[in-house]
Structures are given as structure tokens and as C-alpha cells.
Amino acid sequence: MLNKRAHIVWAAIAASIIVATWQSAAADDKKLEPLHLRLNWQMKGEFTPFIVAVQQGYFRDQGLDVTVAEGSSATQALQSVASGQDDIAYVPSVQLIKAVNQGMPVKAVATVAKVDSMGMVSTAKVPLSSPSDLEGRTVEISAASTFSQIWDAFARKNKIDVAKVKVVRVAPGARFNLLLSGKVDILADIFITNEYPVLESKGQKLNTLKVGDYGFPLIGYTLVASNDVIDKKADLVKRFNAAAAKGFQFTIDNPDKAAEIAAKAYPEQLKADITKGQVKELVAFLKLGEPRQLFLGNDDLWSKTVKLLKDSGAISQQKPVSVYYTNKFVPR
Amino acid sequence: MSGGGLYSGLRVVAGVAVVVFVWQAASVLFHIPNYTLPSPFAIAAVMLKEWRPLLENSLVTLTESVIGFGLSIVISVPLGILIVYSRWAEQVIYPILVASQAVPKVALAPIFVVWFGFGLLPKVLIAFFIAFFPIVVNTVIGMARTPREMIYLMRSLGASPVQILLRVQLPSATPYIFAGVKVAAAFAVVGAIVGEFIAATSGLGYMQLVADNNFQTDLLFGTLVALSVMGIALFYLVGLVEFLVLPRPLRQTRVDGGSSL
Amino acid sequence: MTAARGVSIAASKVGMLFEHDGHSVQALEDVTLDIPAGRFCSILGPSGCGKSTLLMLVAGLYSPTQGNITIDGRPLTGCYTNAGIVFQTDVLLPWLTVLDNVLLPAAVKRLPREPARSRAHELLERVGLTGFKTHFPNELSGGMRQRASLCRALLHEPSVLLMDEPFGALDALTRERMQTDLMKLWAHDLKTVMFITHDIEEAVLLSDEVVVMSQRPGRILRRLPIALEHPRSPELRRDQRFHQIVDEIRDLFQASGIL
């Protein structure tokens, strides 16, 4: 009995080795160049354009074998790119600017979102029509969030009396329960393109407020590469951007279809209905701001963001904008 | 403490100095960037510059750790005694305690925040939760190791169960209990930090999050140094208490935990 | 201090069956014995014959599965709390000084402090441990520790002294010294003593009566009164009559296959 079973097992192993070798041989025909994209978070609807670019074969068409890797924070993603472990990171501009100021040899190769989707959210019974509604409330601002960097300046600009605001700092994972159970009144560190649709899907009526509307229009997501990669693998970056831009365009033109493709590729992390909501918000934000062209930035836009951050005390230096971004790799 | 204590203390200091020297040399020679691994000098410089927030936040974390740790001693030793004396406790409570340790505290922390708010309490509770277990286990084991003849002796003298517990079982368990308490001290600090990661506006864990978010890697390392110092200080504080409280034969005179018993 | 004569010990048809993991062991069988008050009685037998078990039964730490134990005319239920016990290992509490160890019975029984202290000093002096009162047990040799535990056993003036091979773990020279000390102590404080040993000479040297036991299951082979005068002295070891009695017992052991 044992012998017979052993024979079957060995046969199965041999068969799988043969199949695997055959398949990898077939793949070798294409000779794709590998490239690692590091995200700043676990998979969420906002990353749909990249998933689309993989699934629809845009990267393959450019001769690239792109691995889209989830991350845990913008800090980690940037350090990974700076150290050479990953090629390109997808992070908000605020963290990129800080990294550059600290001497990290990285640069934005695509200005994806001209306007950040930072926002606030509250349940129906807590009014949130203007910044002054924060007074007298318990407001959650996570210590690791982008908004916490500019909170003081935001309050000053919008004449919020911070003494009247009870700020609590909670890890991102714990925020939703606290809002829905009423332990906090307002979450001030969310992104309209991400957390808002998630909360919406829980069936609650919600109020929102866009941070960008109240004097803080910052650049949102950017694609970042190390200076090393920019110098030595320029062609790679160009082809990556071309394919990624196609993914973004597809998403803008077919938001629901794009959401479906993404949910199908990551069924555990992405629920179809929430993803559709997130993609809808993403597309709305992508259409905001200047310059209109996909991935294109300009000096005016960038210096405005850097100046805002410096004035709000989030950063201490303001370097020439050419250090932070480049348009060299933007597809025409 | 023996005269060898001073000598071995100097050896430790020398060892640390060598590590620091090699690290500093490597940082300079290999041009290791500040945001990957700050040099010891950079860390020392930022710790001096930010000494005040470091001190204030250290005190916060220390308070959370010490209260959680103190709570764990007060509850764990009686709990250990109960488990030794009660069949029911041994068969029902002990397995529950063991199972509780498999629950990741990182998952518990948000729940504690919802139940107990944003202040000191959830951190104290998480510190307690991690710290109590080694003390309970060591109390139970220590008491079970009481030599049988000692118990016979006490019974033949007509000792009550309380007298047997206080005169023989607890004293013979103290080396084990103190070993458990030392472990618990370190665990309590970890627990406090876990709590701060989830919800805090102060403390070394909170300081770590902010430093990380600001790419201040040298300050991040500075908080780690402060944490290590805190952990070591607590460990030796327990050792000091042990030295003062226990009679000589029960003290752990060797690093390997052996006593002269 | 007037010497209390102690109380009588009696065992009537005592048997002890141990059950463990499905095995059962008959340690003692049909043991009937009486030790009058003030007598020094040795229980002599090979290893495993149940003599230690008998001592535990008399102390009340075990309960007989057959028969019963009577102390001072009264049937024994539970621990007999007026005994002094000396085990083979000294069982001194390592975290107490020698003096505090000797005072342990007074602490447990809540006896008046001053009389207890002076008695402790007196006992320690009699066994030559005065200079070690404030030492811890781990600073003493085996023989010194056993002497200290003997003092502890006598502190509360027990009516019965139970000794389970107390000198078995000591070297031969120390053992002789301890036997001499015990003879002196007992001469001063005549009590009922039940002394467990596997050493024929020791039994004859110290006792008024030697109870010879068989191998397991332990039964009484013979009860031998020892007609040597009191107080006993070490000189007895050279006495012809001493050796005669020892030989008699040796013959008995040979006849029953123990030797």
C-alpha cells in the first residue's frame, strides 16, 4: 500500500516539474524586464489603475514584468526605493518632499494627483459643513497621517480655536469602530478616495469636508524613483510611465469596468461595491487641478505645495522644485 | 553583591563602548545614510537636543509600564496560589490563562481603546495583560517545587494550611517568582508601547510614530535607546528589591538564575 | 527542667497498601507493636521493608489501610502534633538561620518566646552549635545540619521522638559522633523514641528494644529487649555483651535470608 502511494506522489511531483519548466520556458519567449512597484498601503481601490495596467497587459506590451507590491507606509516605500530594493514607489507628495529634505536621493517621476483627496468625515448627527464645526468635538488625527503634519497650520488658517478641539490619536485600523460607535465625532485624517467609500458601504449617512477646499490644496499621489534608477534606467522608467498612464486613462474612461477588473484580481482585499465607490472618487479627484495632462507637473504647482508645507511648519527647508520632481518621463 | 560586581559592570561598559566605536566607524567609512542607520554620534546629538521631549515621553511610558507591572504582581501571585490550592482553578482558570496569551495584544489594543477610552487605562491594561502570565506560571511552578519533607514537617507540627503557605511554600517559591517578575518587567514596557502605537498623544511609542512619519530616523533610534535604558533599569530595579527583601540563601547570585539553595 | 517521660505508642494489626498507577504494593502487613512510655525503640530492617512507612503512620502523616495506631492510649486520627520528627535529610528551611530553624516549632505553635529562645540556646549548646546560631544552613556541614534538626525536633518538648534513619546520610565518623550526642541528649530528656535504622550496631547501641522486621511486605520477625545499662556510652562498642547481641541479630537476618 505504502509503495503504491509513494509512486503516485513521485509521479505527481515529476509531472508538476515538467509542467512548470514548460510554462517558464514559454514565458521566457517574451524576455520581460522585471520592475518592482511598491505601494504605500495594503491593496485598496485607489490602486486600481496599476492593477488594470497589469491585467490588461499594458506593462507586458512595454516589455515589462511589473510586480505590484503592497506596503505598510509611505516611509517604508520610500526607504525601499532609496535602498534599491524596489524600483518605483507610489506615495503622497508630502512624504516625498520630506524624504528629499532629509537627503534621500529620490524624485517624483510622475505627478499623478494634482489635488490631494485629504478630507474629514463624521456621522450624520455631527454637522461638518465648515472647519469651525471641529470646535467642541472629539477629533481623531492619527500620528502617522499626512493631515497631522498640517493640522496646526490648517487650524490657524481657518481660525479654529484648537483649545476647543479634543484631538485624539489612534492607529488607522482602530478609527472606524471609534467613529461608528460614537467614541469620536470626526475623523480628520481620512482620504475621500479611500476611507470614505469604505465607511459609506457600512450603510451610515455621512458628512464630509475636503481639506483642499480650505486653503490647503496639496499635490496628492506621485510616482517616485531613486536618482540612481533615473540616471541608469531612464528607459525603464519611461516605459513604466507610458503603461501606467494607459492604466489610468482606462480607469478614467471606464471606472466601473476598471473596478471589476481590480476586484477580480484581488478578491480577498477588494470588495466589488466598495472598490467601485473608491474608483468613482479617484476619477473625480484625478480630473481636478492643473496641469490637466496625466502625470504632468509644473513648477508653479510644486512650489505652491512646498511653500504651503513650509509655512505650516511641516518642513523646515524649501529646496528648488527641480529637486523634488521631473517631467522627463511623462508620456506625451 | 560581591566585589566581582564592579568588575563585571566595567566589562559591560567596555563591551558597549566597543560596539559604539565599531558602529560609528562603519557609519563614516561606508557612508551609511542617516535615514537608513544613523551613527551613534548622530543619535547622541539628537538625544541631547531633544532631551526634554524624550524625558517627558519616557516618564509617560514608564508610568504606564510600572502601573501595569505593579498590577500584574498584585494579581498574579494570589492567582498562582489559588491555582495551586484549588483543583477547580487549576482545571478551569489555568487553561484560560494559557489560551489568553495566544491572543495578539495588537488586536486587543483597539478593543481596549473602544472600551476604556484614550487615556492611561488601555495602555496599563495591555501592559498588565502581557506581564501577568510569567508571574503566574512561575508562582505555580515555584510552589510545586516545595520539598515534600518540608510539608510533612509542618503538618507534623500542626501547622494550618495558611502557615504552610506563608512559612514554607511561598518562601521556597520566591526565586522563581522573582525570575518571573523580572521577565514581566520587560514585557510590561512592551505592552505599554503596543498600547501607545494604537492610541496615544504621548509616550515613547507615540514619539516613535511621529519620528517615523517625519523621516527623523535618528530621533527614532533615540527613542529606542531610551526604551532600552528603561527596560534595563526596571530589570535591575527588581534585582535590587530582590537583594533587599530576600535573605541571602534565596537571592539569585548568578546570572544564570541559579541560587545558593 | 523535669524530664517528661513521653507517651506510649501502639500499633494494632497495622497494614499499609499503596496503590499507584494501577500497581499495588503491600508495604506493611499485620504489624502489632507497643512501645511503652519513655522507651527507646529501634525498628531494624532491610531497605524497602516498610519501616519508614511505619514511622509515617505513627506520626499520623499517613493513614493505615488496615488496623489502627494508638498514642497515649488514644486512637490516632490525623496528624499527631506533639511529635518531634527527624528525617534522613535535615529539612532545615534554607532561608532561616540555624536559630530560627530550631525555633520553628515555637513559631508554628505560637509558644511563648522567651522560654523557647532559652531552650533553643540550651539545645544548641548541648550539641555544640552555639557558634553557628546566626549562620544559614548552607554554611554548615551535613552533620551539623542534622544536629540542628535534632534540636528543632526537641524544642517543643514533644512526648514522642520519631527518627527516620537520621544518620544514614552521614559519614561513619560523624555518625558515631551523632550517636554519642543522641545518647547524651536522650539520657537527659528521657522520652519515647521510635528510631528507624538498617544498622544493627546502631540499633543495639542506642535502644531499650530492637524490633526486627522482614523484607516487604514488612512483618515483625522478633522483638528483642536490650539488657544493657543506662545511660549508654560509646564505650559500649567495646563491650563483649554488646557484640553478642549484635551477632544474635545478625544470625536472625541470615536465617531469614536477609543477609
Instruction: Using CB atoms, list chains with 3+ pairs below 8 Å to chain C.
Output: B
Read off the pLDDT of residues C55-98 as tens digits, 9 standing for 90 and up. Answer: 999 999 999 999 999 998 889 988 988 999 999 888 999 999 99
User: Which strands make up the sheet holding A166-168, listed edge to edge?
Assistant: A166-168, A138-140, A186-191, A118-123, A206-210
Burial of A31 (0-12, 13-18, 19+ CB in 10 A): exposed
Q: Is residue C114 part of a domain?
A: no
Q: Is residue B2 part of a domain?
A: no
Read off the pLDDT of residues C168-180 as tens digits, 9 standing for 90 and up. Answer: 888 899 899 899 8
Average pLDDT, chain B: 88
Nearest CA-CA partner of B188 in B15, B65, B27, B29: B65
What pLDDT band is residue A26 in, cutting at 50, 70 and 90? low
Look at C4 and C33; give whichever has higher pLDDT.
C33
The yes-or-no verdict on residue A243 having pLDDT over 60 is yes
**CB B35 to CB A143 under 8 A?**
no
CATH number for the domain harbouring residue B65: 1.10.3720.10
pLDDT in the model for residue A23: 64
pLDDT in the model for residue A137: 93
Q: Is residue B1 part of a domain?
A: no
CATH number for the domain harbouring residue C200: 3.40.50.300
What pLDDT band is residue A3 in, cutting at 50, 70 and 90? confident
Q: How many domains does chain B have?
A: 1
What pLDDT band is residue A173 in, cutting at 50, 70 and 90? confident
Do A233 and A195 share a structural domain? no
Which of A98, A99, A143 is the closest to B210 by Cβ? A143
A203 touches chain B (CB under 8 A): no
Q: How many domains does chain C have?
A: 1
Q: Is residue A228 part of a domain?
A: yes
Q: Is residue A8 part of a domain?
A: no
C230: alpha, beta or left? (left if phi > 0; alpha if psi -120 to 50)? beta
Q: Is residue B47 part of a domain?
A: yes
Read off the pLDDT of residues C146-196 as tens digits, 9 standing for 90 and up. Answer: 999 999 999 999 999 999 999 988 889 989 989 988 888 888 776 899 999
pLDDT in the model for residue A93: 94
C52: alpha, beta or left? (left if phi > 0; alpha if psi -120 to 50)? alpha
What is the domain range of residue A65? 32-115+218-323
What pLDDT band is residue C49 in, cutting at 50, 70 and 90? confident
What pLDDT band is residue A118 in, cutting at 50, 70 and 90? very high
Window C:18-77, CB contacts with B under 8 Å:
56, 59-61
What pLDDT band is residue A281 in, cutting at 50, 70 and 90? very high
Q: Is residue C90 part of a domain?
A: no
At B205, phi and psi to the nearest 5? Answer: -65, -45
Which of B35, B199, B209 is the closest to A79 by Cβ? B35
Letter for the amino acid at C29? E
Question: By three-state DSSP, how is residue A204 classified?
Answer: coil
Do A193 and A178 share a structural domain? yes
Contacts of B201 in chain A (CB under 8 A): 167-169
Please tell me the distance in Å from A149's CA to the nearest CA on chain B. Answer: 9
The yes-or-no verdict on residue A120 having pLDDT over 80 is yes
Asked which of A213, A238, A266 is the last residue of a domain, the reply is A213
Q: Is residue A25 part of a domain?
A: no
Please tell me the distance in Å from C107's CA to the nearest CA on chain B. Answer: 10
CATH number for the domain harbouring residue A196: 3.40.190.10
Window A:90-129, CB contacts with B under 8 Å:
95, 98-99, 101-104
Q: Is residue B156 part of a domain?
A: yes
Contacts of B149 in chain C (CB under 8 A): 87, 89, 91
Asked which of A145, A179, A213 is the last residue of a domain, the reply is A213
What pLDDT band is residue A1 in, cutting at 50, 70 and 90? low
Q: Is residue B195 part of a domain?
A: yes
Spatial distance between the Cα atoms of C142 and C169, rounded to a whole number of angstroms = 8
Q: Is residue A317 part of a domain?
A: yes
Range of lowest pLDDT (A87-101, A188-202, B43-57): A188-202
Do A224 and A98 share a structural domain? yes
Q: How many domains does chain A have?
A: 2
Q: Is residue A253 part of a domain?
A: yes
Read off the pLDDT of residues B159-189 as tens digits, 9 standing for 90 and up. Answer: 999 999 999 999 999 999 999 999 999 999 9
pLDDT in the model for residue B221: 94
Window B:143-172, CB contacts with C under 8 Å:
147, 149-150, 152-159, 163, 167-168, 171-172
The yes-or-no verdict on residue C113 having pLDDT over 70 is yes
DSSP chain B: --THHHHHHHHHHHHHHHHHHHHHHHHHHTT--TTTS--HHHHHHHHHHTHHHHHHHHHHHHHHHHHHHHHHHHHHHHHHHHHHH-HHIIIIIHHHHHHHHHS-HHHHHHHHHHHH-SSHHHHHHHHHHHHHHHHHHHHHHHHHTS-HHHHHHHHHTT--HHHHIIIIIHHHHHHHHHHHHHHHHHHHHHHHHHHHHHB-SSSHHHHHHHHHHTT-HHHHHHHHHHHHHHHHHHHHHHHHHHHHHS-GGGSB-STTS-B--
What is the domain range of residue B206? 43-250
What pLDDT band is residue C1 in, cutting at 50, 70 and 90? very low
Which of A95, A171, A178 is the closest to B114 by Cβ? A178
Please tell me the distance in Å from A228's CA to the nearest CA on chain B. Answer: 15
Q: Is residue C146 part of a domain?
A: no
Distance of CA A311 to CAs A21, A163, A165, A211, A298, Å?
Answer: 59, 21, 22, 16, 20
Do A232 and A85 share a structural domain? yes
Q: Is residue C250 part of a domain?
A: yes
Contacts of A174 in chain B (CB under 8 A): 109-110, 113-114, 198-199
Q: Is residue B117 part of a domain?
A: yes
The structure's pTM equals 0.78
User: Which strands make up the sheet holding A221-226, listed edge to edge?
Assistant: A64-69, A33-39, A88-92, A221-226, A106-111
What pLDDT band is residue B252 in, cutting at 50, 70 and 90? low
Do A268 and A152 share a structural domain? no
Question: What nine digits make up the cell of C124?
Answer: 544548641
Question: What nine digits make up the cell of B111?
Answer: 478593543
What is the domain range of residue C255? 1-18+26-82+188-259
Question: What nine digits make up the cell of A129?
Answer: 459643513
Contacts of A168 in chain B (CB under 8 A): 118, 199, 201
Asked which of A168, A198, A213 is the last residue of a domain, the reply is A213
